[in-house]
Amino acid sequence: MIELPKIPDPRGNLTFIEGGRHVPFEIQRVFYLYDVPGGESRGGHALKTTEQFLIAVSGSFTVVVDSGGTRQRYFLNRSYFGLYLPPMIWREIEDFSSGAVCLVLASRPYDAGDYYQDYQEFLEASRKLQ
């Protein structure tokens, strides 16, 4: 978890993110998840080379991360905190609140070949790296 700058102001707070400064990579792609129906989950994959940074810009959700057998859960509900995900981390995003928006900053443009969509394939690849 990384705390982002928060500039308090009675008119409303401001948070900013600079690639290479607040996140440990230069930002190449930005996308967001929204209108996720109740009970649905997103993710369910790992990235081979891409780094990502997830922020709950509105509402809340839980990110389940797995480095190859060890699972941890992170509850994101503050727009000035984000979760850094290095390559080779399996991620699942679940328990979206109504109106939640998950902002994702990525170190690389989209590449379908960069994904492990099968958990067993990911586990085999992660064991080879150890």
Of 60, 58, 54, 50, the C-alpha closest to 83 is 54
Count of beta carbons in the 10 Å neighbourhood of residue 76:
21
Q: Give all domains of the chain, ordered by start, each with its CATH number.
A: 26-129 (2.60.120.10)
Once rounded to an integer, what is the mean pLDDT over residues 11-25?
A: 92
- Cα separation of 101 and 14, whole Å? 17
Q: What is the mean pLDDT of the chain?
A: 94
Residue 97 has pLDDT above 90, yes or no: yes
Whether the pLDDT of residue 21 is over 80: the answer is yes
| pLDDT, average across residues 5-31 | 94
Confidence at 40, pLDDT banded by 50, 70, 90: confident
d(CA 6, CA 42): 28
